[in-house]
Structure 1
Amino acid sequence: MNRNAPFDFARLLACCAVIILHVSAGYLYQYGSVPSYQWHFANAVDSAVRWCVPVFVLLSGALNVTSKNTHYSGFLTRRLTKLSLVIIFWSAAFFAYAGIFDANDMVTRLLAGQPYYHLYFLFLIGGLYLLTPAFASYTKAVGDRQAIITGLVCLIIAMAAWAITDRRMTAFTWFIPFIGYYLIGGPLSRKPLSLSIAVTGFVISYLVTVIGTWLLVEHFGPGAIGLYLYNYLSPSVIWMSICIFSIFVRLPVKSTSLLVSLSAVTLGVYVLHPMILETLQKWMPIVLPSMGAVKTITLLSVVTVVLTFALAFGAAHIPLLRKVFR
């Protein structure tokens, strides 16, 4: 199978970015309770990786919304069979991990598309898979330019809806706000923004997110309004995601066995990492002296990334676990 090295690299970095995001997020809700410099460091780090989930969706669109996937039978059989197994396995694993054994609670969480806080992404991707042949047929019929326009319109609508609603999603609706990203992934991978525009756009959108979040939190506190610019459908994160995806596509990355091997287990890393992170967060204060945000975020991020990739890589080589780790 031919590999797209920039896609593998983008997938790998997006996976690491998710972990860094979850490591730093805890400090953001402690505005006023932790020293100012610690909160600002966490804000600077978290703002820098807010593109992670949109880039995953852009990558999925680039790989799946293609002319070879215009028919439902073949595509859905391949994708949904595996995804169903992944959802069942990891939902059960996190129910056990969290001590959730009440049947009603399990069903409620599954219907909400969040057996655990990060597993919504599996339901999001599942919804996009269901419509992929329709999206692929549309893109093939109208061409890349029109597909990008349609995708951007979808993102603008989602951005407006996300700003004025309570954002309550279910297992059947998580994918809807992300349709725009999915539609533009393919066209944007074939004709990305120029490197100068992409780099400049990323820096500006990053600064808007950092400074804007600081000002909003200062006035409204670390709630939905204060942290609005963090959401994946805020104007700054949409532009940041488009820019960094364009940068990834243009990088002169060469495929190596290490890159392929690590990229192949990013599914396992994504689903597994909260168990590793939360275990480290529980034990680190016991075995290490108290540290500020700078050292804690740095150490936790590095150790969580290394341990989770190592465990996922090992598990992916066990025949019974291979299909739920890669």
Structure 2
Amino acid sequence: MLFLGHEPGGAQPAAARSSFNFCFGRTMIDKRDSTALDLARVCACFMVVILHVAAVDFHVFDDRWWASNFYDSACRACVPVFLMISGALLLDRREALPVFVKKRFLRVVPPLLFWSLFYMAWNDWQGRHYGSWQQWLADLASGPVVFHLWYLYAVLGIYLFVPFLRAIWHASQALEKKAYLALWALVSAWPTLRAAWGVDADVLGTYSLGAFFGLSGYLFLGAWLHEAYRNVRNEPRYLACNAALFALLSLAIMAATYLRSRQTGGPDPLFYDYLSPLVMAASACAFNTLYGLGMRARRYARWLRQISACTLGVYCVHIFVLRRFESATGLPSAGVSPWWAIPFTAACVFAAALAAVMLLRRARVFRMVT
């Protein structure tokens, strides 16, 4: 969420500075491809905002819960889509390990430090004191100081595996790539299935299958889907099928969450997990749908490029904006219908966060962290 390639003619595309660009790599791609990925990135960022707005009402079974479940289920693909964009742009690239480490980590660490310290300073001003500067550093190193910053920490770990995942990608034949994805999907889905079915067997531990487990598999999936899309013969039909499947799978996530919650006696987010089977399938369809729509959005390429360049900042600051919006309007708890309040709040928060980031990026010093 590193764009290092070139447009024809040698100029670095503006998308190279886009959001989540600290975990993206870019090969030589055409403008349609760049626009398609920009659209996917912008939509995924907006889905993150909807997700966090909807989550407010999830933990209590009341008349607002179904709206929360609906929007949350429809937006679970947001983080996987970001990771799949990373894989589509990063795995096919070849570069020396020192070059990879230097470029990628220099783009991850500044945003992580800046936004962590920003939220710590705000929390401290609000009365949550962290103590000495040594304690500040200890808290920062121990994990995210605000829940949504977990992604920046996760990217650091994913980066450590990317050079090896890249080697697997280049060394694999088509059948081997499919086998890798099948093993990753089965292994990663097992913890959710195990909890849902009440199975005691620890298959991952017994057979040491942990090598195939984790979010890094989404990078491989994104690279594979990106490659496969280029070989599609009937693109309109392929796009329509993926859009329909995404809608059906989102409804399935919603239904499974309801049934699980009713079974356990309270709201249970088991099927919301990014590695649950329904979310994995929905995420693949979401990537194909957004990518396909983006291939048809060339007329909006300039606007998408500009917004895409701000999505890292929007992701990092949107929780701060959301809390201020809640305090100023009281909308989430004002008794209005959540069916329109959730998307309305998300649109307002996204727009305000985007405006703030665009303003910040006018100063060169802030471009490395937004």
TM-score range, shorter chain: 0.7 to 0.9
Letter in 1 for 2:217: G
Q: CA deviation at 1:289?
A: 5.8
Q: Structure 1 residue 110: deviation in Å?
A: 3.7
SS of the aligned residue for 1:256 comes to helix
2:102 counterpart letter in structure 1: T
Q: How does 1:1-326 map to 2 (within 5 A)?
A: 1-2=6-7, 3=31, 4-31=34-61, 34-35=62-63, 38-69=64-95, 71-99=96-124, 100-102=129-131, 106=136, 109-161=139-191, 177-192=214-229, 194-223=238-267, 226-251=268-293, 252-254=296-298, 256-285=301-330, 290-325=335-370
The Cα of 1:176 is off from its aligned counterpart by 6.2
Distance in 2, Cα, partners of 1:208 & 1:113? 33
SS in 1 for 2:147: coil
CA contact (8 A) 1:155 1:177 kept: no
The TM-score normalised by the length of structure 1 is 0.87
Query: Structure 1 residues 149 and 317 mapped into 2: Cα distance closer, same or farther (>3 Å)?
Result: farther
Q: How many residues align?
A: 310
User: Which one is further off, 251-260 or 5-14?
Assistant: 251-260
Give the distance between the partners of 2:114 and 2:183, measured in 1 at CA: 36
Deviations 1:23-74 (A, max 9, x none): 011111111xx32xx22122111111110001011111111111324x2121
Deviation at 1:162, TM superposition (A): 5.5
Deviation larger for 194-203 or 258-267: 194-203
SS at match of 1:68: coil
Letter in 2 for 1:102: G
Cα drift, residue 82 of structure 1: 1.8
In structure 2, the CA distance between the partners of 1:158 and 1:23, relative to structure 1 (3 Å rule), is same
Once the two structures are TM-superposed, the CA of residue 290 in structure 1 deviates from its matched residue by 4.3
Letter in 2 for 1:245: F
Which digits, 9 at most, give the CA deviation of each residue in 1:69-99, with x for residues without a partner? 4x21211111101211111111111111222
2:25 is aligned to none
The CA deviation at 1:296 is 2.6
CA distance in structure 2 between the aligned counterparts of 1:203 and 1:41, rounded to whole angstroms: 16
User: TM-score, with normalisation over the residues of structure 2?
Assistant: 0.77
- Sort the Cα spacing of 1:285 and 1:196 in 2 relative to 1 into closer, same or farther, 3 A: closer
Residue 108 of structure 1 and its aligned partner are, at CA, apart by 5.7
CA contact (8 A) 2:67 2:338 kept: yes
1:65/1:261 CA distance change after superposition, 3 Å: same
Q: Distance in 1 between matches of 2:105 and 2:192?
A: 27
Find the residue that maps to 2:364 and give its secondary structure: coil
User: Given residue 253 of structure 1, which amino acid in structure 2 is its aligned partner?
Assistant: A
Name the CA distance, whole Å, in 2 between partners of 1:294 and 1:117: 25
Where in structure 1 are there 5+ consecutive unaligned residues?
166-172
Contact kept in structure 1, 2:184 and 2:213, CA below 8 Å: no
Question: Which residue identity lines up with residue 288 of structure 2 in the other structure?
Answer: S
Compare 134-143 and 54-63 and name the one that shifted more: 134-143
How much does 1:242 deviate?
A: 0.5
Unaligned runs of 5+ in 2: 1-5, 8-30, 196-209, 233-237
Farther off after superposition, 248-257 or 85-94:
248-257
How far has the Cα of 1:263 moved from its partner? 0.4
CA deviations 1:121-180 (Å, max 9, x no partner) are 012112222222221121111135423431342232222245668xxxxxxx9x961021
**CA–CA distance in 1 between the matches of 2:213 and 2:123?**
28
